[in-house]
Structure 1
C-alpha cells in the first residue's frame, strides 16, 4: 500500500505538533492527505513552525499535564492515529538544569495513553530517546559499540535497566507505562528512540543549532562544552519523520525501534564542519569542561529499523548541516554576541 493511500483522509492527532520534529511530521502527514489535529501548549513550539500547514490543520492550544478527562475525550475522539511528541524537553544543557521539569513528562504521557485507550485509536506512536540507554555502555571514546534496543528492554521487567539522568529515566518509565496499557487494555502502540535529531525549526538548546548560532555570531574564542571529544550519532529530521510514519503503519505491540545513523562524529569535528560550511573559523577553540557534556560515545544500531520497518537514513550529515545552516542563517540576524541564556532556555525570547 502506498503512503498516500494509507494516510489519505486518516484522522491523525499530533501532540507537540508545533515543536521542531512535530511540525515536520505534521507537514508530512498533511502532504499525504491526512486530516491533522495538533495539540500543543506552545511552551517550546511555535505557530510559525506550522506556517506551511496552518490552513489545513486543526490547532488546539492545550497543556496536557494540566487537563481533564472531558478535555481529553473531546481532543482524542474519533482519532485513527496519535503521534505523541509532547514533552518538556531540550538539549543537554536544558535537561541537566531542569530535572524536576522533565519528570513532569510522566503525567503528560499517562494522560495521553489513557486518552488513546478510551478513544480506541488504531495506533499511538511514542517519541522516546537514546537517553533510555545505560551510560555505562557509552563511556569509552572511540568505541565501535552501537546501542541495541535490547540494551534497555521495557518488556523485561526482571532484567537490569539503567538510563541517562532524569530525562532518560522518565522516558524509559513511560515506555514501561505504555506497555502496561498494551498488556492491560490492548492498546496498539509503537516506540521510536531518537538520537541527536537536528534540522530546521530546532532551537538553540540543542547541539547543532547551538553550534550554528555561535558560528553565526562569530564567537571567538569559540567555546565548546566538554573536551570536544564526545562522540554522537546525528539524525536529520526528515529521516526521523519517515521512521515515525513507517512504525505507525507496521508496529502495534509497543516494540521500540532505534532511529539513528549508526555513525559517530566528535563534537569538535562537527563544529569545524559547520564553520567550514559557513565560511568562517574562530582564531581559537576553548573547551569548557564545567558545562554538561553528556555521554562520551553514543551511536544507535538501526538493524531492527532496517529489517522490520524498511527504514534507513537518507540524509548525510554534511547535507543535513547545509540544509540546517541555510534555514538558520535566513531566519536569524546576528547580534554580535552570544546570549548564554538562549543555550539553556528554549523559551527565551530574543528578537530576530
Structure 2
C-alpha cells in the first residue's frame, strides 16, 4: 500500500476526529505531514484520544447538526481534503435503543456535504457502514457469502435496496445524498463501508471493547448477548485508517468501497480468545436472548478495495486483540462489577 507523500502540507479536515477511528486517522495524517483540523462536539469523542497529536492540530469544538452556513464556511475554508466521520453512532445496543438519535445523521451529513461543495474541497471521504446491506443476505449462520458493494448500490436508484435498522437506512440515504452532490455540483467523493472496527480508544458500546471490559471485571457468569453463534468480520482500526487514506487518493466519483477482512468469527469464539489473552475464564457463560444482536452472519467482500486501492488488511484478529487488550488494561482500572449502562450509552461517566 502506498500512502503518498502528497499528504505533506495538505490542509485536511477530520469531522468526528476526537472519536475512536477519527483520532487514529488524525494521528496518521499528522505523521504524513498534513495540516490537520479536527471538528468534534465531544459527544462521544474525547480530547484524550488526541493526546498524541494535540500540539500539531487545530481543534474546533462544534456541533455539525445545529450549525449555521456562516460557521461552516469558516470551518471548511481552504480545506483540501475532508474525512467525514462525525455521526451519532455506537455499537449494536446503542443504535438499536437510539433510533431517533441516529436519524440526526441526515442533518449532519447534509451540512458537511454542502460545505464541502461550496468550499471546493478536492475530495470528501464519507464513513459509512456494513449496516447499509440487506439483512436478508445475512440471516444464515455458517454462510460463506460475502457482501458486495453491488448488494446495496446507491447509484442504481431503480434497483432494490434495503438496510439494517434506522442507522443503516440513514447511512444508505446519506450515500445517496452524497452522490446527488457529485451529480449536481461535481463534488469529488468516496465512500468507505466499515464493518465491526475495533482497537484502542473504542468505547464499551462496541462489541470487542464490551467483551474485554466484561473480562477485566471478571464477570461471572459472563453474559453474552444472543446465543453466541452470531458471525462477524472484525477489522482493526489501523487497517481502516489506511483504507480511508488510499480511497481519498484514488476514488473521486462517490464509489463505495468495503473495508473488511472477509473472514468470519463467531461471537463465542472471539470472547474465548479474549479470555485466553487475559488469562482468565468465567465458570460459565450465560446467553441473553433479550438483547439486540444484529445480523446473524456478516462479512464483507474486499475484492474492490484490493483492485481499486491496493488495500488489504494487515492485522490479524489475534494480533489486533492483543493490541486492544493491552491498551484497555493499561488505561482502565477494574471496579469489580459491570456497569450495564456503559454497554448502551457512550457518554456514561465512569472512573478509569
TM over 0.5: yes
Shift of 1:4: 5.1
Over aligned residues, Cα RMSD in angstroms? 0.8
Aligned to 1:290: 290
Aligned to 2:172: 172
Using structure 2 for the length normalisation, give the TM-score: 0.99
Shift of 1:94: 0.1
Asked whether the 8 Å contact 2:39–2:61 carries over to 1, the reply is yes
Q: Which runs of 5+ in 2 are unaligned?
A: none
Shift of 1:31: 0.1
Shift of 1:3: 3.1
Q: Which runs of 5+ in 1 are unaligned?
A: none
Aligned to 1:100: 100
2:32, 2:231 → 1: CA distance? 36
Asked whether the 8 Å contact 2:78–2:119 carries over to 1, the reply is yes
Q: Does residue 351 of structure 1 match 2:344?
A: no
Runs of 4+ in 1 over 4 A off after TM superposition: none
Deviation per CA, 1:83-112: give whole Å up to 9, x if none: 000000000000000000000000000000
Aligned to 2:122: 122
1:339, 1:5 → 2: CA distance? 45
Cα distance change on mapping 1:297 and 1:50 into 2, 3 Å: same
Map 1:23-172 to 2 at 5 A.
23-172=23-172
Q: SS at 1:3's partner residue?
A: coil
Q: SS at 1:83's partner residue?
A: strand
Aligned to 1:212: 212
2:84, 2:221 → 1: CA distance? 40
Task: Number of aligned residue pairs: give it.
Answer: 352
1:239, 1:209 → 2: CA distance? 18
Q: SS at 1:262's partner residue?
A: coil
Shift of 1:5: 1.9
Q: SS at 2:64's partner residue?
A: coil
2:244, 2:148 → 1: CA distance? 18
Deviation per CA, 1:139-179: give whole Å up to 9, x if none: 00000000000000000000010000000000000000000
Asked whether the 8 Å contact 2:3–2:246 carries over to 1, the reply is no
Asked whether the 8 Å contact 1:4–1:33 carries over to 2, the reply is no
Shift of 1:237: 0.0
Using structure 1 for the length normalisation, give the TM-score: 0.99
1:252, 1:172 → 2: CA distance? 18
Aligned to 1:183: 183
Map 1:263-302 to 2 at 5 A.
263-302=263-302
Asked whether the 8 Å contact 2:124–2:188 carries over to 1, the reply is yes
Asked whether the 8 Å contact 2:2–2:246 carries over to 1, the reply is no
1:290, 1:44 → 2: CA distance? 26
Shift of 1:2: 5.9
2:324, 2:171 → 1: CA distance? 27
Q: SS at 1:157's partner residue?
A: coil
1:186, 1:212 → 2: CA distance? 45
Shift of 1:183: 0.1
Aligned to 1:14: 14
